């Protein structure tokens, strides 16, 4: 899960502790990732501050017509007789109470009351794009702001400059070119929401105008990013003016004043630092960090392993969706899978496919879980091969890819060809089935070392989806695993709509997000009892004697109507004596 700011992630973690009392949360400082574990399911929480596509703005900044328009805007607003130390403040946002427009206007009025020497010099150009006028609370708020704006222009006048207006309040949006011209015309940008997302307008301002100053509230998401990057230190350099409390009118007014009188050389130097930061951290870098992290590192813990597999699931889902829609492939998908493959190979014992992982990220942990990840490595290799064929122009690219799969057949090339020929004959004989039902594990998907790691490969998802699209009216996958947590929907990479999913041995079904149903013969009281049993089993699995069974095979799974726990994996990596201890396991629950 990705959050835009550390503040947002911290709030989510706080709510996890409140709503999920038994949740486990671990933090890995080297990658700045938190791992949340609840009822056998682990989720990683990252922070990915979104940015802008720089070239979409810079291409206009370079145009002569935009630069000339910026001069016109400044001349029209500030006047031809504007004093040299006059400042043009610019603010643009939706006319929404979360944006702090009313508080800004109150502070701006207070600014002239507190610093009357700025009267006749400074102008605030406020663009507040009207929306939701049909909602009473919005309409009342907007009307209050309009009256406040009119009042500022009535009260704040300058005898020596009778045409001067302290405030331009506009409620219509600006086209992209006009907006960028305003960025170039302004002296100081003002972005002061109560609490909001990233407020990318602040980045747009300084990207276009690296000489401009900036006033930011602590409620702006980008302010959290900037301050963490060291651009606004309490006792150090401050590249912008920060407003902590929008209701503290004196402090807010001081921010306006300090921005207005700041030495121009200092302002440009500070803003240039922010400009360079924005240039270096654009939307492409954000996309790479969020969608295509650099995963080539040693996998040391179970959390590392499951996290990397879930990340590749997300990439594989995008690959499958693009192929099925006929959208061109992006090169970083292959890079992602290759990085994950290299990470896992690097982490295996020398010349083997065995992965020994610490069961906890805490230092000093000696408990380990061992997995043979040959299947996972093979599936990565197949997907990388699949991507090469998909990107080729050969009309038989998929057929050629299928031919390469013989290398993974457990018997021989001849046996592989015989099975493929049999499948082709079946499709020719009955090229369109009314119904098609199948199992998943061991049928559509080879067995994995652990259910959480049994991510459906991209190549298999594409082939299975195409089969459903072309060869059957209704397709369904029946499995004993649950739907979620960790269930078949968590490890599938096919888009919804191709298959129905019958989970928990058919007791719960997923058709699409709006069509889900389950066995009604199981009462709510029985499900509550099952929850209690699940919690009791999970508590026992935290003990030293039974801890290992949390990690092998499918681990502890909560199905609809029953529980299962694996006592052995496909590689028989659990000693027989230890596996047999589960035979007395139920007595502990009585």
Provide the mean pLDDT of the chain.
Answer: 87
Q: Rounded to an integer, what distance in angstroms lies between the CA atom of residue 541 and that of residue 538?
A: 5
pLDDT band at 588 (very low <50, low <70, confident <90, very high): very low
Instruction: Please choose, from the candidates 341, 365, 368, 364, the residue with its C-alpha nearest in 3D space to the C-alpha of residue 356.
Output: 368
Identify which of 19-33, 36-50, 100-114, 185-199 has the greatest average pLDDT: 100-114
Identify which of 4-18, 411-425, 554-568 has the greatest average pLDDT: 4-18
Residue 199: left if φ>0, alpha if ψ -120 to 50, beta else—which one?
A: left
For residues 369-394, average pLDDT: 88
pLDDT band at 118 (very low <50, low <70, confident <90, very high): very high
Residues making up the chain, counted from first to last = 590
Map out the domains of the chain with their CATH numbers: 2-47 (no CATH), 54-280 (3.40.50.2000), 288-518 (no CATH), 524-587 (no CATH)
Does position 558 have pLDDT exceeding 80, yes or no? yes
Dihedral over Cα of 189, 194, 198, 199: its sign? negative
Name which residue leads in pLDDT, 553 or 268: 268
The alpha-helical segments, DSSP class H, found in 262-407 are 264-280, 283-291, 302-325, 331-347, 374-390, 397-404
For residues 256-275, average pLDDT: 95
| C-beta separation of 158 from 120 below 8 A | yes
For residues 537-562, average pLDDT: 79
Per-residue pLDDT at 533: 87
DSSP run (H or E) holding 557: strand 556-558
Q: Rounded to an integer, what distance in angstroms lies between the CA atom of residue 265 and that of residue 2?
A: 38
- Of all residues in the chain, the percent with pLDDT exceeding 90 is 46
Name which residue leads in pLDDT, 294 or 334: 334
For residues 101-124, average pLDDT: 97
Does position 202 have pLDDT exceeding 80, yes or no? yes
Per-residue pLDDT at 353: 92
Q: If you ran DSSP here, which 8-state letter would residue 32 be given?
A: T
Residue 145: CB atoms within 10 A of its CB come to 22
**Per-residue pLDDT reduced to its tens digit, 456-514:** 999 999 999 988 988 888 999 999 999 887 889 999 999 988 999 999 989 999 998 88
Name which residue leads in pLDDT, 471 or 552: 471
Per-residue pLDDT at 590: 39
């Amino acid at each position: 899960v990705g959050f835009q700011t550390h503040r947002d992630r911290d709030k989510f973690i706080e709510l996890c502790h409140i709503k999920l009392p038994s949740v486990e949360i671990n933090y890995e400082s080297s990658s700045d990732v938190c791992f949340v574990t609840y009822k056998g399911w682990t989720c990683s929480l990252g922070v990915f501050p979104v940015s802008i596509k720089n070239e979409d703005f810079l291409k206009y900044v370079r145009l002569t017509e935009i630069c000339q328009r910026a001069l016109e805007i400044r001349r029209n607003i500030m006047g031809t007789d504007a004093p040299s130390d006059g400042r043009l403040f610019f603010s643009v946002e939706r006319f929404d109470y979360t944006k702090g427009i009313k508080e800004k206007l109150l502070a701006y009025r207070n600014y002239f009351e507190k610093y009357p020497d700025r009267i006749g010099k400074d102008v605030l150009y406020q663009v507040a794009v009207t929306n939701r006028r049909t909602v009473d609370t919005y309409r009342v708020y907007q009307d209050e702001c309009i009256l406040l704006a009119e009042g500022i222009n009535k009260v704040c006048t300058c005898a020596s400059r009778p045409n001067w207006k302290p405030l331009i309040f506009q409620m219509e949006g600006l086209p992209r070119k006009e907006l960028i011209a305003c960025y170039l015309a302004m002296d100081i940008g003002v972005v002061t929401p109560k609490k909001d997302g990233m407020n990318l307008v602040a980045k747009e301002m300084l990207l276009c105008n690296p000489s401009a100053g900036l006033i930011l509230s602590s409620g702006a998401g980008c302010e959290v990013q900037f301050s963490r990057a060291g651009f606004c230190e309490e006792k150090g350099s401050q590249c912008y003016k920060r407003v902590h409390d929008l209701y503290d009118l004196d402090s807010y007014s001081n921010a306006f004043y300090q921005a207005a009188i700041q030495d121009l050389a200092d302002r440009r130097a500070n803003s240039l630092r922010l400009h360079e930061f924005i240039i270096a951290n654009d939307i492409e870098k954000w996309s790479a960090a969020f969608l295509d992290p650099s995963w080539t590192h040693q996998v040391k813990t179970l959390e590392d392993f499951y996290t990397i597999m879930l990340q590749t699931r997300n990439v594989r889902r995008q690959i499958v969706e693009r192929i099925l829609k006929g959208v061109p492939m992006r090169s970083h998908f292959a890079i992602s899978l290759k990085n994950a493959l290299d990470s896992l190979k690097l982490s295996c014992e020398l010349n083997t496919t065995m992965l020994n992982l610490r069961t906890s990220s805490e230092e000093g942990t000696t408990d380990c879980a061992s997995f043979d990840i040959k299947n996972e490595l093979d599936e990565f290799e197949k997907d990388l091969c699949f991507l090469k064929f998909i990107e080729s122009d050969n009309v038989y690219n998929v057929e050629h890819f299928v031919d390469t799969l013989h290398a993974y057949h457990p018997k021989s090339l001849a046996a592989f060809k015989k099975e493929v020929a049999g499948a082709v004959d079946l499709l020719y004989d009955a090229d369109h089935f009314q119904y098609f039902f199948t199992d998943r594990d061991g049928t559509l998907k080879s067995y994995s070392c652990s259910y959480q790691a049994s991510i459906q490969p991209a190549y298999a998802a594409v082939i299975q989806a195409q089969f459903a699209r072309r060869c059957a009216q209704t397709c369904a996958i029946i499995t004993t695993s649950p739907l979620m947590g960790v269930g078949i929907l968590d490890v599938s990479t096919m888009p919804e709509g191709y298959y129905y999913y019958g989970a928990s041995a058919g007791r719960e079904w997923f058709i699409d997000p709006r069509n889900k149903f389950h066995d009604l013969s199981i009462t709510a009281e029985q499900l509550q009892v099952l929850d209690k049993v699940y919690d009791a089993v999970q508590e026992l699995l935290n003990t030293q004697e039974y801890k290992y069974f949390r990690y092998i095979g499918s681990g502890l799974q909560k199905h609809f109507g029953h529980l299962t726990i694996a006592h052995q994996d496909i590689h028989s990596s659990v000693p027989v004596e230890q596996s047999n201890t589960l035979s007395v396991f139920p007595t502990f629950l009585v």
